[in-house]
Amino acid sequence: MRVRPFVVIKETVEWAHHRLTQRQFLLLASVLVGVSVGFAAIVLKLFVHLIFYIATYDKWGDFKYLYLVLPVIGIFLTVLINQKLLNGQLVKGLGHLHTVIASRLSFVPRREMYDQIVTSSVTVGFGGSTGLEAPIVITGAAFGSNFAKAHRLNYNERTLLLACGIAAGIAAAFNAPIAGVLFAVEVFMIDITISAFIPLILAAATGALISKVVLGGHILLSFTLKEHFQYMNVPFYILLGILAGFVAVYHSRVFSKAEGWFAHKKANVYVKVLWGGIGLAALIFIFPTLFGEGYQSIMDLAEKRPQNILDQSVLHSYQSNEYILLMCIGLLIFVKPIATALTIGSGGNGGNVAPSLFIGAYLGYLFSRTVNLTQLAHIPTNNFTIVGMAGVLAGIYHAPLTAIFLIAEITGGYSLMIPLMIVASISYAISRYYEPYSMDTKKMATSGKIFTENKDSNVLVTIKTQQLIETDVVSLEAENNLDSLVQAISQSKRSIFPVLETDGTFLGVILLDDVREIMFKPELYQQILVRELMTPAPAILSSDDTMLNVMKRFDETNAWALPVVDNGKFVGLITKTGVFNSYREKLRDSSF
């Protein structure tokens, strides 16, 4: 009889689920998710490098010209896969995961366990100017979510395993388990207890271990520090932090506008590929370092080989001219967001972690080398190149802790912890001031669809307005008299009564406080009509309103109940009591 390994594994896990406590099973699940995501990251990295090796094989011809066509091919193949195999359902960016968590479901479609790997590897393998980290994170979240779904775990447990997948993805991508844990908590604002950190740590450590054992350091980003931190350089680190903050704001805004232009442009998807591909090819023609993730050029700067960034470039003859070289490095800081937006906006798949590290490294090198050339001081370009990455990453993702520990881990030591903290925190503060939301969450946060850093809002966005509408309401028609109103008051415990036309069209409300004086005067019962007593509602809600907007209306009007009206027709009432009860329920259920 043939043994099927996957069936055996599944049955073994199910057997363990029935014999372990729920806490013990979650620990086992976190390790299994870490293993799965670790191997997924390995497959993605190897797939990218295999495609890159085949596509740039020197027997095909002169790479100098071939690399102008390859990114277009990669984006085209990504769109083709999305349209023909994925039915156009490919999601890009981390905002999707924020929505998944905020929706109180934490269900990530099963297809995202593989579609991110396939599409991003084609995009980046053929030279798309983006990164693999966001696809790895989404893939990890899909593994965690679907594992929880397969074993019938509840929302809190499902969200925790989803976070374990995210942590394992970052840990495997950079061999940085601490940064993986912090990324899951800090970027996705998952409010968990101390005990819930153990599964996250196990998942991240497992993912990093698997990646380290299989890949080693050959195709991972890693550095060796050349000089230790010197306190007299603190003023220059402060200046670098300020610059990194403004560069992060620039990147966020330029990328969002360029990507948004593609999204709103009414054109065939393949026409967009052509536009984006031609634009990207033109940029790569001038700056070949924009080809692919760009990690090699980061290492060239950190290892003091800046001339390598002009290899294969039309500016190749200026490699020995340091001033022109620095000018090119400065231009690349501003061009990289455009190249990334062209790649993703025109149909490619990828993320902004690698571009943020790219820009940060270039900024740190440019700043330090400029200071040294002006002889203001002699500061280590290696250290500033490395620390600059943390600054821009912290500013773009609003994740200073992740940035600090990610760079500390990939440099193999913590001797730069103080400058990392200085640069990351200053950059974050400046970026946060000008851009209240991170780049991946801005669009959805402003629409009230995802978590924010306000914990009350975190809970409110999980409450659906439709679920709070109370329909057992005593209403009145405009032509009813005071006698009908008094009878309605005697039959209801409410202090607000909607007034409607016979067809249900909403006209206004009658508030109990407004009629208290005349309701005990029987002689007026037949003389006064409801139409004469009604007033406009303090505010009118829609069943499509978010709970953040509902609470804002309650605060503005100081009302205790507000009518819900859709297309002019009365639907029901929403009361503060109903909102508060639902809020307490969600708050109780959301603790891990």
- List the domain boundaries for the chain: 5-215, 231-258+292-329+350-454, 459-589
Q: Roughly what angle, to the nearest 10 degrees, separates helices 295-302 and 353-373?
A: 30
* 3-class state of residue 104 by DSSP: coil
Report the alpha-carbon distance of residue 67 to residue 354 in Å, rounded. 20
Report the alpha-carbon distance of residue 39 to residue 207 in Å, rounded. 8
Contacts of 490 (CB under 8 A, 6+ apart): none
Contacts of 214 (CB under 8 A, 6+ apart): 39, 42
Report the alpha-carbon distance of residue 268 to residue 225 in Å, rounded. 49
* 3-class state of residue 570 by DSSP: strand
Report the alpha-carbon distance of residue 135 to residue 111 in Å, rounded. 13
Place of tokens 């693999």: 132
In this structure, how many other beta carbons lie within 10 angstroms of the beta carbon of residue 563? 24
- Residue type for 281, please? A
Place of tokens 């199910």: 14
Contact 349, 135 (CB under 8 A): yes
Place of tokens 């200046």: 239
CATH class, domain 5-215, is: mainly alpha
Report the alpha-carbon distance of residue 145 to residue 161 in Å, rounded. 6
Q: For residue 562, what are the β-bridge partners?
A: 574
Predicted confidence pLDDT, tens digits, the chain (592 residues): 454 666 666 777 777 777 888 888 889 999 999 999 999 999 888 888 888 777 666 555 555 567 778 889 999 999 999 998 888 888 888 877 877 776 656 788 889 988 999 999 999 988 899 988 899 999 999 999 999 888 888 888 888 999 999 999 999 988 899 999 999 988 876 666 677 789 999 999 999 999 888 877 555 566 666 677 788 999 999 999 999 999 999 999 999 898 888 878 877 888 889 899 889 999 988 888 998 888 888 888 888 888 888 877 777 788 788 889 999 999 999 999 999 999 999 999 998 999 999 999 999 999 999 999 988 888 999 899 999 999 999 999 999 999 999 999 888 667 889 999 999 999 999 999 999 888 877 776 666 555 545 555 555 666 777 888 888 888 888 778 877 877 877 777 777 888 888 888 888 888 877 777 777 777 777 777 777 788 888 888 888 887 778 888 888 888 888 889 988 888 888 888 887 777 666 655 555 4
**CATH fold match for the domains 5-215 and 231-258+292-329+350-454:** yes
pLDDT of 3: 46
Please give the DSSP secondary-structure letter assigned to residue 131. B
In this structure, how many other beta carbons lie within 10 angstroms of the beta carbon of residue 437? 17
Q: Nearest 5°: phi and psi at 208?
A: -65, -40
CATH class, domain 231-258+292-329+350-454, is: mainly alpha
Report the alpha-carbon distance of residue 432 to residue 452 in Å, rounded. 13
As a whole number of angstroms, the longest Cα–Cα distance in the chain is 103
Q: What is the dihedral of CA 199, 205, 211, 213, to 10 degrees?
A: -130
CA–chain centroid gap for 221, Å, is 22
Strand 506-511 with 496-500, pairing: antiparallel
pTM of the model: 0.79
In this structure, how many other beta carbons lie within 10 angstroms of the beta carbon of residue 396? 31
Q: Selecting from 3.10.560.10, 3.10.580.10, 3.60.21.10, 3.40.50.300, what CATH number does the domain 459-589 have?
A: 3.10.580.10
pLDDT of 460: 60
Report the alpha-carbon distance of residue 241 to residue 364 in Å, rounded. 10
Strand 476-477 with 569-575, pairing: unpaired
Report the alpha-carbon distance of residue 387 to residue 241 in Å, rounded. 9
Report the alpha-carbon distance of residue 307 to residue 314 in Å, rounded. 13
Please give the DSSP secondary-structure letter assigned to residue 203. H
Strand 561-566 with 506-511, pairing: unpaired
Contact 503, 478 (CB under 8 A): no
Q: Look at residues 577, 553, 547 and name the one whose alpha carbon lies nearest to residue 451.
A: 547
